[in-house]
Amino acid sequence: MIFLADYTLKIVALGSALLGIVAGSLGTFAVLRKQSLLGDSISHAALPGIVLAFMITGSKSSLILLLGAAVAGWIGSYFILGIIRHSRISSDGAQGVILSVFFGIGLLLLTYIQSQPNAAQAGLDKYLFGQAAALLKEDLWITVIFGTVAIICMALFWKEFKLMTFDPIYGQSLGFSERATDLMITALIVIAIVTGLSTVGVILMSSMLIAPASAARQWTNKMGAMVVLSAFFGALGGVAGALLSSLIPNLPTGPAIVLCLTAIVILSLLLSPNRGILARSAQRYRNRFAFSLQKLLLDLYHLEENHTDGERAHSIKTISLIRSREGNIRIALQALESNNWATQTDEKLWTLTQDGRIQAEKLLNKGEENL
Amino acid sequence: MIGEIILIAILVSAACAIPGVFLVLRKMALMSDAISHAVLPGIVIGFLMTRSLSSPLLFVGAVGTGLLTVILTESLVKTGLVKEDAAIGLVFPALFSIGVILVSRYTGNVHLDIDAVLLGELVFAPLDRISFLGYDIGPRTAWVMGIILLLNIGVLALFFKEMKIATFDPGLSKSLGFSPVLLQYILMISVSITTVGAFDAVGSILVVALMIAPATTAYLLTDDLKTMIILSVIIGIVSSVLGFLIAWALDASAAGAMASMCGVAFLLAFLFAPDRGLLSQIRRKHSQKLEFAVTMLTIHLSHHRSEKQCDLECHEQHLTEHINWDRHFASQVVRKAIGDGMISSSQGLLKLTQAGEQNVKTAMME
Give A-chain residues touching B32 at CB under 8 angstroms.
Answer: 96
Give B-chain residues touching A48 at CB under 8 angstroms.
Answer: none
B243 and B324 inside one domain: no
A251 with B105: CB under 8 angstroms? yes
A202 and A87 inside one domain: yes
Q: What is the mean pLDDT of chain B?
A: 84
B213 and B303 inside one domain: no
Residues ≥6 apart with Cβ < 8 Å to A161: A29, A154, A181, A184, A185
Check CB contact under 8 Å for A37 and B209: no
Task: Tell me, rounded to whole angstroms, the distance of Cα A281 from its chain centroid.
Answer: 20
pLDDT tier, B352 (very low <50, low <70, confident <90, very high otherwise): confident
B160 and B291 inside one domain: no
Q: For the packed helices A277-306 and A253-271, what is the interaxial angle rounded to 10 degrees?
A: 20
pLDDT surpasses 80 at B316: no
For residue A303, give the CATH number of its domain: 1.10.10.10
Quickly list DSSP for A158-182: HHHHHHHHH-HHHHHHTT--HHHHH
A83 and A15 inside one domain: yes
> A51 vs chain B: nearest CA distance in angstroms?
13
Report the helix count and the strand count for chain A, using DSSP H and E.
16, 2
Task: Tell me, rounded to whole angstroms, the distance of Cα A150 from its chain centroid.
Answer: 21
For residue B54, give the CATH number of its domain: 1.10.3470.10
**Closest alpha carbon within chain B to A104:** B256
pLDDT along chain A (371 residues), means of 10: 63 86 91 85 89 87 87 92 89 91 90 74 70 74 86 89 87 86 87 83 85 93 93 94 83 88 94 87 88 82 72 71 66 80 78 81 72 50
B286 and B261 inside one domain: no
Convert the pLDDT of each residue in B263-275 to its tens digit.
999 999 999 988 8
Domain end call among B273, B292, B317: B273
B141 and B287 inside one domain: no
Nearest to B256 by CA among B127, B121, B93: B121
Bridge partners of residue A351, in order along the sequence? A343
B9 and B44 inside one domain: yes
A228 and A290 inside one domain: no
Across the range B105-134, mean pLDDT stands at: 68
A315 and A254 inside one domain: no
pLDDT surpasses 80 at B307: no
Across the range B224-239, mean pLDDT stands at: 95
- In this prediction, residue B113 carries a pLDDT of 59
**Closest alpha carbon within chain A to B84:** A34
Check CB contact under 8 Å for B216 and A128: no
- In this prediction, residue A320 carries a pLDDT of 72
Bridge partners of residue A350, in order along the sequence? A314, A344
Domain end call among A275, A302, A317: A275
Quick check: A39 contacting B, CB < 8 Å? yes
Check CB contact under 8 Å for A203 and B247: no
A163 and A211 inside one domain: yes
Bridge partners of residue B82, in order along the sequence? none
- Residue B341: in which H helix or E strand, if any? none
- In this prediction, residue A146 carries a pLDDT of 85
Domain end call among A260, A275, A290: A275
Chosen for mutation from B28, B30, B106 (greatest number of chain A CBs closer than 10 Å) is B30
pLDDT surpasses 90 at B335: no
A309 and A256 inside one domain: no
- Range of weakest confidence among A161-165, A305-309, B43-47, B211-215: A305-309
A92 and A165 inside one domain: yes
B250 and B304 inside one domain: no
Chosen for mutation from B33, B107, B220, B285 (greatest number of chain A CBs closer than 10 Å) is B33
Task: Tell me, rounded to whole angstroms, the distance of Cα B326 from its chain centroid.
Answer: 40
B23 and B129 inside one domain: yes
Give B-chain residues touching A88 at CB under 8 angstroms.
Answer: 219-220, 276
pLDDT surpasses 50 at B363: yes
- In this prediction, residue B269 carries a pLDDT of 93
pLDDT surpasses 90 at B84: no
Nearest to A103 by CA among A52, A46, A39, A53: A46
Distance CA B169, CA A300 (A): 52
B9 and B29 inside one domain: yes
Domain end call among B234, B249, B273: B273
Higher pLDDT, B128 or A220: A220
CB atoms within 10 A of CB B151: 17
- In this prediction, residue A118 carries a pLDDT of 64
A-to-B residue pairs, Cβ atoms closer than 8 angstroms: 204
Quick check: A133 contacting B, CB < 8 Å? no
pLDDT surpasses 70 at B217: yes
**Cβ-based burial of A285 (10 A; exposed 0-12, middle 13-18, buried ≥19):** exposed
Q: Which residue range is the domain that position B240 belongs to?
A: 2-273
B269 and B286 inside one domain: no
Chain A residues 164-203 within an 8 A CB cutoff of chain B: 203
Q: Which residue range is the domain that position A303 belongs to?
A: 280-370
- Quote the number of domains for chain B: 2
In degrees and rounded to multiples of 5, residue B315 shows phi and psi of -105, 140
A345 and A215 inside one domain: no
ipTM: 0.85
A136 and A264 inside one domain: yes
Residue among B94, B96, B257 whose CB faces A108 most closely: B257
- Quote the number of domains for chain A: 2
Domain end call among A258, A275, A292: A275
- Range of weakest confidence among A85-89, A110-114, B26-30, B66-70: A110-114
Quick check: A93 contacting B, CB < 8 Å? yes
- In this prediction, residue A335 carries a pLDDT of 82
Q: For the packed helices B140-168 and B2-25, what is the interaxial angle rounded to 10 degrees?
A: 20
Distance CA B8, CA B185 (A): 27
A339 and A222 inside one domain: no
For residue B351, give the CATH number of its domain: 1.10.10.10
pLDDT surpasses 60 at B158: yes
Give the Å distances, CA to CA, from A288 to A291, A337, B54.
5, 18, 53
Report the helix count and the strand count for chain B, using DSSP H and E.
15, 4
